[in-house]
């Protein structure tokens, strides 16, 4: 079995667990018990009906018992997580198994944040708070600088990134609330960017913020034009920040070279 096949299968299996997290965490439910069940009839799902990607296709996207349709998001999340793991391995952004593990955990947390914030407009502290602690520890000790992979990120850059990510978004939230008289930035976004900064450094904070804001602006305008959304309406920012963080991790060095060159 080649490393790519192994990492794809591992990513799909973990992606199946991410689906559980995406559904249960914002509802305050345990991600361990009970076992996976059909969301329509509540029947426990047998192990052979819970094989990532394969079972969904074999069942035709329907529950074996009640024949209710299953969301296409389940195989989408499994494939997305698997594909991101393969990209991490292929681009050699991870120079050791420990670094690869750290980045895989980071990427999977961004996938969970993306879909939870998209559905519920919240970013759970259960993901960002332990994620921030791990990000600063790993960023200070073993992780490379994603904008110069020949060098370690180091304590200074990790801590500055943590402060820049959390601090800048806290400042935006405070100013926005003072000017607009309403919450302009959720607390989850602040904690998420502290995690991103601890792992990617201050340059990662800048690129993540710029890319996320650009994507959010473009998609927001398209939603207003195509679907009649109101100006000033509340939109989740987490999915765009998660996408920006992925771009910073995977292609930050190339983007910086292109910009400077």
Cα–Cα distance for residue pair 255/90, rounded to 1 Å: 18
Is residue 175 a contact partner of residue 189, using CB atoms and an 8 Å limit? no
pTM of this structure: 0.91
Digit-coded pLDDT (tens) for 192-205: 999 999 999 999 99
Angle, CA 180 vertex, CA 174 and CA 182 arms, to 5°: 70
- For the chain, the structural domain boundaries read 1-90, 97-261
Digit-coded pLDDT (tens) for 98-149: 899 999 999 999 999 999 999 999 999 999 999 999 999 999 999 999 888 7
Alpha helices in the chain (DSSP H): 3-24, 54-58, 73-90, 97-120, 125-141, 154-180, 187-227, 238-260
| Distances, alpha carbon 80 to alpha carbons 53, 86, 118, 147, 241, in Å | 11, 10, 16, 24, 17
**In degrees rounded to 5, what are phi and psi of residue 35?**
-70, 170
Cα–Cα distance for residue pair 244/63, rounded to 1 Å: 35
């Amino acid at each position: 079995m080649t490393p790519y096949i192994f990492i794809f299968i591992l990513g799909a299996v973990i992606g199946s667990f991410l689906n559980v997290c995406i559904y249960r965490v914002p509802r305050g439910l345990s991600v361990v018990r009970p076992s996976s069940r059909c969301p329509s009839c509540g029947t426990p799902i047998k192990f052979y009906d819970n094989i990532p990607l394969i079972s969904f296709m074999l069942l035709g996207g329907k529950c074996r018992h009640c024949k209710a349709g299953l969301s296409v998001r389940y195989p989408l999340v499994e494939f997305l997580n698997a594909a991101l793991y393969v990209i991490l391995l292929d681009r050699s952004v991870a120079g050791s198994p420990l670094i690869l593990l750290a980045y895989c955990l980071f990427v999977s947390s961004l996938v969970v944040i993306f879909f939870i914030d998209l559905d519920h407009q919240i970013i759970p502290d259960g993901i960002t708070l332990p994620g921030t602690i791990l990000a600063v520890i790993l960023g200070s000790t073993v992780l490379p600088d994603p904008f110069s992979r020949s060098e370690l990120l180091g304590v200074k850059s990790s801590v500055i990134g943590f402060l820049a990510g959390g601090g800048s978004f806290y400042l935006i939230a405070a100013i926005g609330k003072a000017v607009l008289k309403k919450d302009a930035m959720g607390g989850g976004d602040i904690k998420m960017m502290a995690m991103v900064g601890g792992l990617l450094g201050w340059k990662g904070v800048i690129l993540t913020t710029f890319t996320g804001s650009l994507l959010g602006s473009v998609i927001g305008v398209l939603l207003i034009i195509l679907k009649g959304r109101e100006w000033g309406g509340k939109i989740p920012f987490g999915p765009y920040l998660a996408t920006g963080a992925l771009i910073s991790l995977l292609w930050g060095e190339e983007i910086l070279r292109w910009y400077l060159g």
